[in-house]
A and B are shown apart, each in its own frame.
Chain A
Amino acid sequence: MASSTGVKPSDGVANRSGHEPDERGHFGRYGGRFVPEALVAALDELAAAYEKARHDDEFLGELDRLHRDYTGRPSPLTDAPKLGEHAGGARILLKREDLNHTGSHKINNVLGQALLTKRMGKKRVIAETGAGQHGVATATACALLDLECVVYMGEVDTARQALNVARMRLLGATVIPVRTGSRTLKDAINEALRDWVTNVDSTHYLLGTVAGPHPFPVMVRDFHRVIGMEAREQVLERTGRLPDVVAACVGGGSNAIGIFHAFIDDPSVRLIGFEPGGDGIETGRHGATLAEGSPGALHGAMSYLLQDEDGQTSESYSISAGLDYPGVGPEHALLKDIGRAEYQPVTDAEAMEAFALLSRTEGIIPAIESAHAVAGAVRLGRELGPDATILVNVSGRGDKDVDTAAKWFGMIAEGESAEDADGTAIADGGRA
């Protein structure tokens, strides 16, 4: 019973995808390096180390071994028939990145970069995190591989993802709350970049998504290509055909590019990224960078971003810390422009409804980030009807979000403990 089969995590690294940027990291007009000169040497070193590792059987073998024995890959594909009943009868298949060790897709990239850090002889790792999932994965890899770990996290996010702050500290990482700007992911990246400029000799910046300067967008993508490669085989094996739609949430875009990539050359497959619509696009309080933004340079790459008339970055908003980011990876910008992928907003309310729906129908509590993709799939299923097959990337699990959800659904009243809360709140659809 081969549930995903011949695919090895290193396949996405060792084999070119056929959709590569130019040698300076440009995806069309996007990507590149909009960075201080001080970082160029480190980026060149990283690009060279990655290029060498891609052809090194020892590196590739170690990556595969860790992903098998430590991460728990391959991740399963789960049929979600009861969710499908709420989605126009469409067949919904869930790619279970939530079942990876540390609870999200982030570990795919983190183990790859942590192994590279060792090979570059660096002893200190810094990372940014929004939801805390990338921070937790990084702290985990650093514990495993004996690296010093410092994680920057916006103060708004340390509050809404407090559980993950504790997890990182348990794993031995130093978590630094960032109090500048909007105090979310964007500002955590600024602080990480400032640290990197200062300590670049000793330090690797383990960036957590497919954004940033070259080689990050292509390298991080390659470490995540395993998601789509496994899923494509699993879906074919399970259903005998390709899915009609592949759905993923988009923050910086790593889980989405990871699952999309294996299907780019399948023209019948629609690739749809779901961005955080926050309170609704019309309110201006959202993080729908591709749907609502415009081209510009932020955090080292040219891509879409949310900005005002003067090129000042706008503050994004989402209930989901991991999607609350006014930028996005450059390859998504290209996929949007050439029409190969579509990007649609999903509001906080839609995402939370899907969060509850997947929990109740299938017994799977998704991360609020991933709930955006689930909501998108439900919306599409209703449009496309019972003949449609929709593959959804469940990028992470929702344990970290239980507090936010309990408040949203009014399951815990002020001064009350979880035990005496009224469990019917969700069934009533009630937000107290």
Chain B
Amino acid sequence: MTVSDVFTRCAAQGRGALVGYLPAGFPTVDGSVDLISAMVDGGCDLVEVGIPYSDPVMDGPTIQAAAETALRAGVRLRDVFTVVERVAAAGGSAVVMTYYNPVLRYGVDAFARDLAAAGGLGVITPDLIPDEADEWLAASTAHGLDRIFLVAPSSTEERIASTVAACTGFVYATSIMGVTGARDSVADVAPEIVARTRPHTRLPIGVGLGVRSGEQAAQVASFADAVIVGSAFVSAATDRGTDGVHDLAAELADGVRRAGVPAPA
């Protein structure tokens, strides 16, 4: 299984993909495996396993608090490999979402090696741009991992082109200017950044930041190839544990199915 296989399978069903995020070690290592498994059972096609980090500048209060909980409970970097391994063994498809310094500290090549060995498919890097990523480009290639960089509404045409050229698997489009956190409505700029990215790549484009309901998921799936949901899963886990996560995944998966595939550009 590769990230590309996940998207192909969804497309064969005439729909986009649902991608769910939860941090490893939140609230404990075992607890996070249960929550992520519930997310997969509920209908997530791909999971993003987050690495809790002390200085998450792209995250709003919800994910910050989850990271703090995990770190206080003593989560270690190597635990992410355990979580990925167990999710993969249960039939889930997992990528890792991480700030760059933990990877640097572990050793970029060693990190890629150990993640691939655990069955991870790739890495999303919110604070690493391709301009600074030589070491990661080499390591991800060497160990067969997908590398998912981000494009943003503020990205120029030129930067969108160079960023997607460095991506494999899919492209992550941040739909709004801002940090993570569930929002009431899907931002107007979301369709625009997807439309600006399309001409530069044949990779699927996922949209994240702010989605929390089935209705929003359907709306996003009407123009993007994947709907990425993070803070809403963290809140669901906090409020109602595995049941909450399962129910939210089911609602979002239903929204994604309702939308069908995006009209060709």
A contacts, CB < 8 Å to B = 24, 32-42, 44, 180-181, 186, 190, 193-194, 197-201, 295-300, 307, 309-313
Contacts and interface: CB of A to CB of B under 8 A. Distances in A.
B159 interface: yes
B57 A296 contact: no
Contact of B101 (A24, A39, A296): A296
A42 B155 CA distance: 10
Nearest to B159: A40
19 contacts: A34-B100, A34-B128, A36-B58, A36-B127, A37-B155, A38-B154, A41-B154, A41-B159, A180-B68, A190-B56, A194-B57, A198-B177, A296-B101, A299-B55, A310-B106, A311-B103, A311-B106, A312-B53, A312-B102
How many B residues touch the partner, as a band? Answer: 35 or more
Contact of A181 (B55, B128, B129): B55
A40 B174 contact: no
Contacts of A38: 150, 152-155, 174, 177
Contacts of A300: 127
A36 B152 contact: yes
B64 interface: yes
Contacts of B150: 36-38
Contacts of B178: 197-198
A65 B150 CA distance: 43
A410 to B, nearest CB: 36
Given A297-B100, A297-B104, A40 B177 contact: no
B77 A310 contact: yes
Interface string B207-247: 00000000000000000000000000000000000000000
Interface in B170-213: 174, 177-179
B129 A180 contact: no
A78 to B, nearest CB: 40
A375 B132 CA distance: 39
A182 to B, nearest CB: 9
A198 B149 CA distance: 19
B179 A198 contact: yes
Contacts of A186: 55
A310 B55 contact: no
B64 A37 contact: no
Interface in B59-104: 60, 64, 68, 71, 76-77, 100-104
A295 B150 CA distance: 25
Given A32-B131, A35-B129, A37-B152, 5 more contacts: A35-B127, A296-B101, A307-B101, A310-B77, A311-B106
A34 B103 contact: no
Given A37-B129, A181-B54, A311 B105 contact: yes
A200 B153 CA distance: 11
A115 B149 CA distance: 34
B156 interface: yes
Contacts of A201: 154, 177
Given A24-B131, A41-B155, A41-B159, A311 B58 contact: no
Interface string B141-160: 00000000111111110010
Contacts of B177: 38, 197-201
Contacts of A298: 55, 101
Given A197-B177, A312-B71, A34 B127 contact: yes
Interface of B: 53-58, 60, 64, 68, 71, 76-77, 100-106, 126-129, 131-132, 149-156, 159, 163, 174, 177-179
B57 to A, nearest CB: 4
Query: A-side binding surface: helix, strand, loop or mixed?
Result: mixed
A34 B132 contact: yes
* Chain B CB within 10 Å, residue with most, of A201, A298, A299: A298
B101 A193 contact: no
B157 to A, nearest CB: 11
8 A-B pairs with least C-beta separation: A311-B105, A38-B152, A311-B102, A310-B77, A198-B178, A41-B154, A312-B54, A311-B101
Nearest to B174: A38
Contacts of A307: 101, 105
Contact of A37 (B57, B100, B163): B163
B144 to A, nearest CB: 24
B56 to A, nearest CB: 8
Contacts of B174: 36-38
A112 B7 CA distance: 50
B152 A311 contact: no
Nearest to A26: B132
A40 B55 contact: no
Contacts of B76: 310
Contacts of A309: 77, 105
A300 B100 CA distance: 10
Contacts of A181: 54-55
A197 to B, nearest CB: 6
Which of A36, A42, A199 counts the most chain B CB atoms within 10 A?
A36
B57 A193 contact: yes
Contact of B131 (A33, A39, A42): A33
A190 B101 CA distance: 15
Contacts of A295: 104
Contacts of B129: 33, 35, 37, 40
A198 B210 CA distance: 13
A41 B174 CA distance: 14
A10 B250 CA distance: 62
A33 B57 contact: no
A284 B177 CA distance: 38
A296 B132 contact: no
A310 B53 CA distance: 9
B105 A33 contact: no
A143 B125 CA distance: 39
A307 B177 CA distance: 29
A201 B177 CA distance: 9
Contacts of B153: 38
A250 B127 CA distance: 26
Q: Which of A39, A194, A296, A309 is packed against the most chain B CB atoms within 10 Å?
A: A194
